[in-house]
Amino acid sequence: MDNMIKQWHSIDRAWKMMEESGKTYSRVGLFRLDVLYTHEISIAATEGEAVVPDFLKSGGKNDRMFFGNIEHARVWATGRFDLVPHFLDSQSKGGYIGLHSEKFMKFLLREIPVTEKPICFHRVRATGKIVKDCNHGLLKDLRTFIFGFSKHYS
C-alpha cells in the first residue's frame, strides 16, 4: 500500500510539472523509470484511444504505464486520490473491502475506451535484479526473450 501511494504522489507531481511547463500536449505517455522496456513503444494511436499493457491486471487494468490523449491521461494521472472513497463504496457493495491497485485502475478508467496492448517491460530493482513481469504465454514470452518484443502493434 505504501508503494502504491508513493507511486500516486509521483505521478501527480509529474503531471503538475508538465502543466507548469506551459507547453501544450495532445497525447501523453506516462512511463515508469524503474523498468527495462523490451521493445520500442509508440504513443501514436487511434484518436481517443487510451492504452495500458495487457499483463498483470489481476481482475482490473495494469497500472504501470499509460498513454493516450491529454484528457484520458489527466484522468489516469490525477483522478486517483479523489475517487478512492467512491471505489471503496462500490467494492463494499460487492462484498469486497479494500484498495486493490489494478481493480481501482479499472474503476478509474471505467468511462474511458481503454485498449490493452501486448507491451512488455520488466521491473529493475535497486540491486539491479530484473523481475520479469510480462506473461503473455510461453510462445510470446519466448519471442520477447529472443527478439525483444512479443508482437508488433500499431
Domain spans in the chain, listed from the N-terminal domain onward? 2-147
* pLDDT score for 60: 87
The pLDDT of 130-154, averaged and rounded, is 53
| Residue 128 cell numbers, joined | 539491479
pLDDT on residue 40: 86
**Residues 53, 98, 33, 31, Cα dihedral to 10°:** 40
Asked if residue 28 has pLDDT above 50, the reply is yes
Query: Does the pLDDT at position 150 exceed 50?
Result: no
Predicted confidence at residue 13, as pLDDT, reads 94
pTM value is: 0.78
pLDDT digits (tens, 9 = 90+) for 79-106: 899 999 999 988 877 667 788 888 999 9
Which is higher by pLDDT, 54 or 133? 54
| Other Cβ atoms closer than 10 A to 144 | 21
* 151, pLDDT greater than 50: no
Averaged pLDDT for residues 103-112: 93
Residue 133 pLDDT exceeds 80: no
How high is the pLDDT of residue 17? 96
> For helices 80-93 and 2-20, what crossing angle results, to 10°?
140
pLDDT in tens, 42-81: 888 666 789 999 887 777 898 889 999 999 999 999 989 9
Q: How far apart are CA 132 and CA 103, in angstroms?
A: 22
